[in-house]
Amino acid sequence: MSAEFPAARPRRLRRNPVMRRMVAGTRLHPAELILPAFVKEGISDPQPVSSMPGVFQHTRDSLRKAAHEAAEAGVGGLILFGIPAVKDARGSAADDPEGILQQALRDVNAEVGDALVVMADTCLDEFTDHGHCGLLTESGEVDNDATLERYASIAVAQARAGSQMVAPSGMMDGQVGVIRAALDEAGFQDLPIMGYTAKFASAFFGPFREAAECAPQFGDRSSHQQDPAGPLGDSLREVRLDLAEGADIVMVKPAMSYLDIIRQFRDTVDVPVAAYQVSGEYAMIEAAAANGWIDRDRMIMESLLGIRRAGADLILTYWATEVARRL
Ligand code: PBG
């Protein structure tokens, strides 16, 4: 004990579980969790994703079951990714009213749309044969403005299929504004947009590309996703633009390597801040746990608490249902 501060004993508030529970400054609630889920056209059984143990490419039926489980656990939202049977250069299945994602949105929204927020990832990479998030120019670059027209059409198709929120993830300049205008024009003035606002060109997306079958066939996404070593104001610039264009929720992605950006957003903006604990973050913990190197359950909770404490109001995590049950 220090003679100088005889009364200062921080341990008093850590003494036992009831004390710690009462004074906890960071709490997780199931409603703040959003479950990302994959649905694939033309399969008869759910397919395990080898780099993400416990995650599946769903059939329409198994997706419904997973959606019910999430709803029963109190999860706040579900974000759907579709994998079509046929891909082409313009990602035609992405805005086809009978495309797999639209079918799945209708199914899930009809069954659990009252219990949780059903949303769609609004992008092209799952639907294009080249795996890029947009249309390509002749020289193979992602064409920003031509892609925006596709995004607008996809967002409207998703809204018509019952999506309660759309989430553009392609990092094209102007994507939120174009989608906002298209939704308004189509009568969906009340449908919110969650922008993937600060999204970095990240190696942590690796396992997702297996899950969503969307690895670029050549090149990478560094011409549009943010550089992890990029200008320090880059994310603030993105968030200013997204808010000006009408974003209702802004997201940081990945989460754990970008906790500073989450905090920066929380201190700057007046809308909810979401963070996406991405596939590589999931895979690292599952892989280490499978080797017996870490305490899986504690590490999952600690990772989520860290993201929450950094300032995230919402967390997208593949563990959403499991964690919601545990809370
Ligand atoms: C793009 C998209 C990606 C993720 C979500 N939306 C992949 C990418 O940008 O390459 C990654 C999610 C994850 O890694 O869990 N549609």
Domains and CATH numbers, the chain: 27-326 (3.20.20.70)
Instruction: Retrieve residue 95's tokens.
Output: 């805005």
Per-residue pLDDT, averaged over 169-195, amounts to 98
* CB count in 10 Å sphere of residue 239: 24
Predicted local confidence at residue 230, as pLDDT = 96
Q: Which two tokens stand for residue 314?
A: 């919402």
- What pLDDT, in 10s, does the model give residues 76-109? 999 999 999 999 999 999 999 999 999 999 999 9
For residue 125 and ligand 1, the question of a CB distance below 6 A is answered with: yes
Helix H or strand E encompassing 309: helix 296-310
Instruction: Please tell me if the CB atom of residue 121 comes closer than 6 angstroms to any atom of ligand 1.
Output: yes
Is pTM beyond 0.95? Reply is yes
What's the 224 CA to ligand 1 centre distance in angstroms?
Answer: 13
Distance 208 CA to ligand 1 centre (A): 6
Angle between helices 259-268 and 234-245 (to 10 degrees): 50
Q: Is the C-alpha dihedral spanning 199, 208, 133, 188 positive or negative?
A: negative
Q: What is the pLDDT of residue 7?
A: 84
Q: Over 80: is that where the pLDDT of 212 sits?
A: yes
Helix runs in 92-224, H state only: 100-112, 144-160, 175-185, 206-211
Cβ–ligand 1 contact at 278 (below 6 Å): yes
Widest pairwise Cα distance in the chain: 75
Give the whole-angstrom CA distance, residue 1 versus residue 23: 23
pLDDT at 3: 62
Of 123, 132, 44, 58, the C-alpha closest to 88 is 132
pLDDT digits (tens, 9 = 90+) for 18-56: 999 999 999 999 999 999 999 999 999 999 999 999 999
**In the block, residue with structure tokens 């950006």:** 261
Ligand 1 contact via 279 beta carbon (within 6 Å): yes
- The predicted model gives 7-16 an average pLDDT of 92
* pLDDT tens string 265-299: 999 999 999 999 999 999 999 999 999 999 999 99
Residue 40 appears among annotated catalytic residues: no
CB contact set of 213 (below 8 Å; sequence gap of 6+)? 40, 83, 126
Mean pLDDT taken over the chain: 96
> Which distant-in-sequence residues (6+ apart) come within 8 Å of 11 by Cβ?
none
User: How is residue 240 written in tokens?
Assistant: 């200013």
Interval 140-148 mean pLDDT: 96
Q: Is 253 a catalytic residue?
A: yes
Span from the CA of 168 to the centroid of ligand 1 (angstroms): 11
> pLDDT confidence of 8, banded at 50, 70, 90?
confident
pLDDT at 189: 98
